[in-house]
Structures are given as structure tokens and as C-alpha cells.
Amino acid sequence: MAFVTTPATLEHAVPAMDNAEVLRIRNDFPVLDQLVNGRPLVYLDSGATSQNPLSVIEAEQEFYEQRNAAVHRGAHHLAVEATEVFEDARQAIADFIGAEYAETVWTSNATEGLNLVSYALSNAALWSARGRGDARLKELAVGPGDQIVVTEMEHHANLIPWQELAFRTGATLRYIPIDDSGALRLDLAAEILASKTKVLAFTHASNVLGTINPVKELVALGRAAEALVVLDACQSAPHLPLDVKELDVDFAVFSGHKMLAPTGIGVLYGKQDLLDVLPPFLTGGSMITTVTMERAEYLPSPQRFEAGTQRISQAVALAAAASYLTETGLARVHQWETELGQRMVAGLEALPGIRVLGPAAGQERIGLAAFDVEGVHAHDVGQFLDSRGIAVRVGHHCAQPLHRRLGLTATTRASAYLYNTTDDVDAFLEAVAGVRSYFRV
């Protein structure tokens, strides 16, 4: 029996996942038990949206059946119970990522979380200039002469908010480039960061390349530049153990729909001393202490950033998803997905006319593979695979600059999760092997 021993977060070796266990896990996911175009569904698009286990579906349904009420707004029994499960969910997610309760803010998705931080930073300059808020806002304010740094491999959600922050404030946006293989040019990073950098934002794991970036090394470069460090954890939080305190990032975001939970729920982690100082992004009810006709005073985090009626059932379901992953063991999930990812990449590299992006077989990556089929457009590849019951993602995967840098407009991406077997990967590889002959390339 294989054992997992490599992840540093494991105190003791535990049995590795295998196909037999995954087949039992699949029973928890009703959507996977269906035929597509007359063939068993092979779902390899979890990098876009994962499927939901029964425990998550039932958690949301149970909320609506037994506890549906507005939170923080009533003294009646249902309102009290709804508030309790809502805030219990927050604590569960804080524990899941190694954060504190007040450092965990609900958002609609990771994109909103990144926009929240970017707008809060531009509001910091406005508040500071007008003598409003904490004196520390002056240090956080972004303006002309400042620099915001991202990487060339970012998802649009971790690029466009920073472009717009630079536009609003007069700051300069720069990026750490990649080399021809897709790896970050870390040899250039220190020089790029040297010029009064206020923000360093980067992805933990690339949704196109599969690369797992060296977070601690990048954080150290950010600290040397006295920059705020923002981590896009969308492709890491669902797949590998994540401890935001150990990584020492200032902010991190991830989305529920990529980690077995419903759409419409995401999480922003932020260090409490930063969240309590930053101005809010969205304003309205539930995030205030005192309101007059002239002005308002705001609560500390997390309510400071949670205006209006919240995503209550989705938060409860996200906590159930975190519980499911914790019980399965994220280190075990990561080990299994690594095995699947390596199987995908090695199989694709062996096929003629296939170009795989990101680390080669044998090198560290998450369980996804984006590839180009010579002479066949990615959308045609996706439709061919769908005709065989295989669901993948096609397009630029919200990473146009990255594709452009690699000389491509679109790729096909297969992404595995804890409910995929080696048979799924083999069926995918067998289908891809027939693409070029089918299109007579």
C-alpha cells in the first residue's frame, strides 16, 4: 500500500488514495452518475467549477428547510439560529485556512475579494487625504510614483483589478515575466519590485500552466520591498493544504465553486490589523455602528466588508465542503491529483502534435493540463471530447496575456479532482489521441 509522506503538513504518514477509494467517493456526487452522448460522464473541468457532494447539497437544503432567516437582524428563534450557523461557517473556513475568525470575509467569489482589496486601497488614499480614518491609511494609500506588481501568468481576476487601481490612482503596473517554458523569471523579480512597490499580487497555482509558485520566496521579495502581498488561492485552496499564517501573505482569496461548494460564495482572508484600518468597499446596512444624515461609522472586520443581506446558505454549504475535504485529507487529495496530473501530462507528451503548457512530466504541478493540438482549434477539440462524454474547458481560461506570451489564442484544459480515477484520465488520453485523425490533420 502506498503512503503519503511528502507534504510538510502531515505529522504522520497516512494511506494514499487509490481508485477503489475514489470510486466510493464518486457515490457522493450524484451529477457524475449520468451518461453524456451515450457514454459515462468523465468530468475533467473542476478547475472551472467542481461538483457538489450530497453533504454540501443537503447542508444548503437543510438551512432553507429549517433555519431560513436574515442574519444579524432579528431576535426571533430562526434569526438567532441562522446567525449562529452563518458565523459557525465563518469559523470553520477560518480554521480550514489557518486564519482567525475576524480575518475571514465573505464575498461572492474570489474576483469580488480582489476588487474589494483594490478599491479599499484606492479609498485609503481618499480617506487619508481628507483626514478620515486611521493614521496608518497614509502608509497603505496608493498613488502616483507607487508601483503595483503582478505576474505574466495571472488570471484576469488578479490582473484587471490592479490595472484599474493603477488607473484610478496614477500608480504604475508592472509584471514579473515568464520564460518560454512558462516559469516565472524570479531572477528579475527583485529588480522589478525595487521601485516603491505597494502591492505584489500573484497566483499560488496557475489555472493554465499547473505551476505551483514558490509562495515563500515571493513573499520574502514582497517583504523586502515593503509591499502588501496578495495571494490568489483559487487553484490551491481546494487541492492542497493551505495555511495563510505560515505563508505570511497579507491577503488571500478563493472561491467556493472550485472546492465542492455552490456558486455565489467566496472568501477574502486579510490580516486583521489591515482589515480593521482599510475603508470599506461596498456600503449599506449591517456593516455600520452609527449613521446620521451626514456620515456613517463602520464596524471592524469582518462585518466592515459585508454590506447588505449575506450569502447565508452558500456560506453554510462552503463550510460543509471544507469539512468534506478535511475528512478526506487535503494532503491525500493533493497526492492523488498529483498522480493524475502526471499521468495526464506524460500521456499527452507522448502523443504527436500535442504541446502541453507548463511543467513537463515529472516536475511539480497541480492536477491539470492545458494543451494545444497542432492544426485543430481548441473549441473543436472540446466538442470532439464532449461527443465522447468527456468534459474539459476550452478557450483562453481568462488568461489572455499568458496565452499571447506563449504564442497561442486558446488551449484545451483537463483538470482533475478527488472524484476522478486513473480510468478517467486514460479515457481522456485515448480520446485526445484520436483528435488529429478525426479532423484529418
Catalytically active residues are 398
Give the whole-angstrom CA distance, residue 202 versus residue 279: 23
Residue type present at position 163:
Q
| CA-atom Rg of the chain in angstroms | 22
Mind giving me the DSSP string for 88-111? HHHHHHHHHHT--GGGEEEESSHH
Residue 379 is classified by DSSP as H
Residue 95 burial (C-beta neighbours within 10 Å; 0-12, 13-18, 19+)? middle
Query: What is the distance between the terminal CA atoms of the chain, rounded to a whole angstrom?
Result: 43
8 Å CB contact between 422 and 24: no
Q: Which amino acid belongs to residue 54?
A: L
Contact 42, 363 (CB under 8 A): no
Torsional class of 342: left (φ above 0), alpha (ψ -120 to 50), beta (otherwise): alpha
Q: Do the Cβ atoms of 101 and 301 come closer than 8 Å?
A: no
3-state secondary structure at position 391: strand
Which strand (E) or helix (H) includes residue 373? Answer: strand 368-373
Coil, helix or strand at residue 37: coil
Cβ neighbours for 175, distance < 8 A, ≥ 6 positions apart: 149, 150, 151, 152, 154, 192
The residues pairing with 393 across neighbouring beta strands, listed in sequence order, are 413
3-state DSSP call for residue 184? strand
What cell was used for 92?
470553520
Q: How many CB atoms sit inside 10 A of residue 438's CB?
A: 13
Cβ-contact 415, 368 below 8 angstroms:
yes
